[in-house]
């Protein structure tokens, strides 16, 4: 029985070997096929999405946002270098193109070159929209920043006008409070974050907040939530005698 394996005339070794190879090949092939299928599935999805974009030029859909982000990531430099005038022109052109596309009921056949052109235009459109959005965001951020500064200085002035620190206060002492506000600007809670070590000074700071009672806050609800829902006040009696 043992001789069968060592016997050169025996066919068992090649049979087993070839069988194994077939199995391995089949396994590899099946794996490749699955991977290919996934890739194949993805591609049509992408294409489909782009067609939808062409039909719906409104820049608010999620797919557009994603595309815009990709475009920005790829083409930040050219977008920002473009001056406002050409952007406007491109936008107008793009709009007319979109309108023309919309007027005929049947979609255009889109030969290869036309498709590329449309794609470029679309990308340009997306990029300009993105730039505009960014610009708006920046503008809003600057406005918000301005508001934060304005209201902060108003709050500062109000507290200064009522904060009566005790005669024991030293000029280098500091009280830190957290003030909780509601959107009307009304104080709901005052928390002592860091004591000065002087109870009378701590209390005078808390009292100053309650004396003001209504803080000036921005009407913009988003900005309020972001910056004014809770604020930290640092009170230092730098004009104290001691």
200 makes contact with other proteins (CB under 8 A): yes
166 forms part of the interface with other proteins (CB under 8 A): yes
Interface with other proteins (CB under 8 A), residue total 51
Residues 213-232 contacting other proteins, CB under 8 A: 226-228, 230-232
- Pair type for strands 230-235 and 175-181: antiparallel
Cβ neighbours for 196, distance < 8 A, ≥ 6 positions apart? 169, 173, 174, 175, 202, 205
Strand, helix or coil at 2?
coil
Is 132 among the residues that bind other proteins (CB under 8 A)? no
> Which residue's CB is nearer to other proteins, number 61 or number 207?
207
Chain-centre distance for alpha carbon 189: 32
Distance of CA 175 to the CA centre of its chain: 36
Task: Pick one of 29, 156, 180, 225: the residue that binds other proteins (CB under 8 A).
Answer: 156
How many residues comprise the chain? 242
Q: How far is CA 98 from CA 38, 117, 179, 184, 232, in A?
A: 32, 13, 53, 46, 52
User: How many angstroms separate the Cα of 194 from the Cα of each of 7, 22, 155, 158, 205?
Assistant: 92, 76, 20, 21, 11
Indicate the residue among 59 and 166 with the shorter CB distance to other proteins. 166
Q: Is 192 among the residues that bind other proteins (CB under 8 A)?
A: no
Nearer to other proteins, 74 or 203 (CB): 203
Q: How many CB atoms lie within 10 A of CB 11?
A: 9
Site string for other proteins, 62-101 (x = CB under 8 A): ------------------x---------------------
Closer by beta carbon to other proteins, 125 or else 165: 165
Q: Looking at 122, 147, 204, 218, which residue binds other proteins (CB under 8 A)?
A: 204
Closest approach, Cβ 150 to other proteins, in A, equals: 12
Asked if 212 contacts 158 with a C-beta cutoff of 8 angstroms, the reply is yes
Q: What is the CB neighbour count within 10 angstroms for residue 224?
A: 19
**Toward other proteins, which CB reaches closer, 88 or 100?**
88
By the criterion CB under 8 A, which residues form the site for other proteins?
A: 80, 134-135, 137-138, 141-142, 145, 148, 152, 155-156, 159-169, 178, 198-201, 203-204, 206-208, 210-211, 226-228, 230-242
């Amino acid at each position: 029985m043992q001789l069968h394996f060592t016997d050169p005339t025996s066919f068992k070794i090649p049979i087993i070997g070839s069988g194994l190879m077939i199995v391995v090949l089949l396994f590899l092939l099946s794996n490749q096929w699955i991977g290919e299928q996934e890739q194949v599935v993805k591609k049509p999805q992408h294409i489909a999405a782009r067609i939808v974009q062409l039909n719906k030029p409104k820049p608010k859909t999620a797919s557009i946002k994603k595309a815009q982000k990709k475009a920005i990531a790829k083409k930040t430099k050219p977008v920002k270098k473009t001056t406002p005038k050409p952007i406007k022109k491109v936008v107008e052109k793009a709009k007319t193109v979109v309108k023309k596309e919309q007027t005929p009921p049947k979609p255009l056949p889109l030969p290869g070159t036309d498709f590329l052109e449309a794609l470029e235009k679309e990308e340009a459109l997306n990029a300009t929209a993105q730039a505009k959005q960014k610009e708006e965001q920046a503008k809003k951020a600057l406005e918000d920043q301005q508001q934060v500064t304005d209201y902060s200085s108003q709050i500062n002035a109000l507290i200064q006008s009522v904060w009566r620190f005790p005669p024991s206060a030293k000029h280098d002492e500091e009280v830190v409070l957290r003030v909780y506000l509601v959107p009307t600007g009304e104080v709901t809670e005052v928390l002592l974050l860091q004591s000065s070590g002087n109870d009378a000074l701590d209390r005078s700071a808390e009292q100053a907040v309650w004396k003001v009672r209504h803080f000036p806050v921005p009407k913009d609800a988003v900005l309020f939530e972001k910056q004014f829902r809770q604020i930290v006040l640092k009170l230092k009696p730098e004009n104290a005698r001691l």
